[in-house]
Structure 1
Amino acid sequence: MTVEDFIRSIDGTAPPPGLSLPLQALWWDRKGDWEKAHSCAQDEPDSNGSWVHAYLHRVEGDLGNAGYWYSRAGRTAHSGALQQEWDEIVSHLLALG
């Protein structure tokens, strides 16, 4: 799936089959459902889930909690625009296959 395919899929009612939990979280985030997004990120214990979890807490405005999750992800806290980070994470996760 390309980034463009992923973005187009957001017009649907549910994430496409086969998406990882972190990608599902970003899909729900873009749909405006932070709770579903957070639930998906929380259910993925690896570093990618932690990165998405950190991003979601930035969206929420809870920078302290975001910092914790960036640390769990092994990443430096992102300080750029939320859209920039969303794009970066989606591209990274899709490249993993």
Structure 2
Amino acid sequence: MTTVEAFRRALSDAAPPEGLGLALQALWWAGKGDWARAHGCAQRGEGDPACDWVHAHLHRAEGDLANAGYWYRRAGRRPPVATDAPLEGEWEAIVAALLPRRG
């Protein structure tokens, strides 16, 4: 799987596609609307910058901006410029950035 569109189509499946790393699994669950499972995947990958970036996004999505800021720093990423920047756009950007590395 190499495109955001293919990743989005996979959201209709019952389980994440095989071979995805924890960060992309977390994004898959987030795309399905299952925050708890997404968060679990991100937590299991703590210390991996990709998982920490997704972790930040998840806390931003739940409105916990202080915790999100912590995870953005851990991931070496800047949070979106505007705190009201669309979550969907950030989700797509993270998926696009992580797909080539499959993790």
TM-score bracket for the superposition, by shorter chain length = over 0.9
Relative to the length of structure 2, the TM-score reads 0.90
4+ aligned runs moved over 6 Å, structure 1 = none
Provide structure 1 residue ranges, at least 5 long, that are not aligned to the other structure: none
Aligned residues: 97
Comparing 31-40 with 72-81, greater Cα deviation is found at 72-81
Q: Percent identity?
A: 58
Residue 42 (str. 1) matches residue 47 (str. 2)? no
Structure 1 equivalent of residue 69 of structure 2: 67
Structure 2 equivalent of residue 76 of structure 1: 78
Q: Which has the higher contact order (CA 8 A, sep 6+)?
A: 2
Residue 58 (str. 1) matches residue 60 (str. 2)? yes
Relative to the length of structure 1, the TM-score reads 0.95
RMSD: 0.9
Provide structure 2 residue ranges, at least 5 long, that are not aligned to the other structure: none
Q: Deviations over 1:39-67 (max 9, x none)?
A: 00111121110000000000110000000
Q: Deviations over 1:9-56 (max 9, x none)?
A: 000100000011010101101111100000001111211100000000
